[in-house]
């Protein structure tokens, strides 16, 4: 084959390959996600957080049924939903800290993650003491201060993470492109998390007993505004976790291809 014909054939093949690549890029981002370091670990983290968010929604729903004095098994499962949710947050943030260290995350990013890891430890105290049902530890409600302390750490961690993304644009992100651009999805997910914890801080503060202070709680747990803030907070956490799962193709690709020699 003449050299010019062979060169033309190679050029056409390259264009075909580029065209094929362009056709498969875009949602569900299975092509773009392959450039995420340790992608399958991100898939695992996303699913752990999805389970944590769903369990938190069930926890709030069961709590609402309990304070409304509804009968049946569902209200009695309130603390157990809390156990599943809080253990998943703890596991997820431990895995996320490992991933950030593996990819060389910024100090600010690690600080935000560790703030949320500490938050998940405080979260676990409430359902743990609640299932003990010890009057000295708050009875079936558990420690009065643990959830409020935890959500404050969680919220501050989210603020730090969002600020970190603003100061240090993550690899693949582009400030000139939209919220749904693949590289910007981690930023979008983190802002959803921050929006979620605003609602959860509000609901925890409004309904907290503050160890029997005369002015507390600001609103009873039965107040619709408290319940709405709880559902919005848990729902936005779920939405943010789904965004992260989309970013790493966690709904479409569970493979872990072997390393090339």
Question: d(Cα 82, Cα 71) in Å, to the nearest integer?
Answer: 19
Instruction: Determine the average pLDDT of the residues in 226-234.
Output: 97
In a domain, 261, yes or no: no
Let me know if residue 27 belongs to a domain: no
Is the residue at 205 inside a domain? yes
Structure-token pair, residue 10: 């190679």
157 within some domain: yes
- As a whole number of angstroms, the distance between CA 94 and CA 103 comes to 15
Per the domain annotation, does 138 fall within a domain?
yes
Judged by phi (left if over 0) then psi (alpha if -120 to 50, else beta), residue 104 lies in: left
pTM exceeding the 0.85 threshold for the entire prediction: yes
Taking only the tens place, the pLDDT of each residue in 143-176 is: 889 999 999 999 999 999 999 999 999 999 999 9
**Count of domains observed in the chain:** 1
In a domain, 96, yes or no: yes
52-104 residue pLDDT tens: 999 999 999 999 999 998 888 999 999 899 999 999 999 999 999 999 999 99
Cβ atoms of residues 86 and 66 within 8 Å: no
> Domain of 114?
39-247
Residue 260 lies in a domain: no
């Amino acid at each position: 084959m003449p050299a010019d014909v062979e060169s033309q054939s190679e050029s056409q093949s390259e264009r075909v390959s580029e065209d094929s690549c362009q056709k498969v890029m875009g949602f569900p981002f299975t092509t773009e996600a392959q450039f995420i370091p340790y992608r399958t670990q991100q898939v695992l983290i996303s699913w752990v957080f999805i389970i944590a968010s769903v369990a938190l929604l069930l926890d709030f729903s069961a709590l609402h049924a309990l304070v409304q004095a509804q009968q049946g098994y569902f209200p009695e499962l309130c603390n157990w939903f809390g156990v599943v949710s809080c253990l998943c947050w703890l596991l997820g943030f431990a895995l996320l800290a490992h991933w950030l260290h593996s990819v060389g995350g910024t100090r600010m990013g690690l600080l935000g993650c560790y703030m949320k890891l500490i938050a998940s430890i405080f979260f676990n105290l409430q359902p743990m003491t609640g299932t003990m049902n010890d009057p000295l530890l708050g009875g079936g409600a558990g420690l009065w201060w643990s959830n409020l302390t935890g959500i404050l750490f969680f919220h501050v961690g989210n603020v730090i993470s969002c600020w970190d993304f603003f100061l240090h644009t993550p690899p693949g992100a582009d400030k000139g492109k939209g919220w749904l651009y693949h590289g910007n999805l981690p930023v979008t997910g983190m802002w959803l998390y921050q929006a979620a914890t605003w609602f959860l801080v509000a609901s925890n503060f409004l309904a907290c007993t503050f160890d029997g202070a005369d002015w507390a709680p600001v609103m009873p747990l039965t107040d619709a505004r408290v319940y709405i803030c709880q559902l919005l907070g848990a729902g936005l956490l779920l939405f943010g976790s789904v965004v992260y799962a989309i970013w790493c193709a966690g709904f479409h690709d569970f493979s872990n291809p072997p390393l090339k020699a």
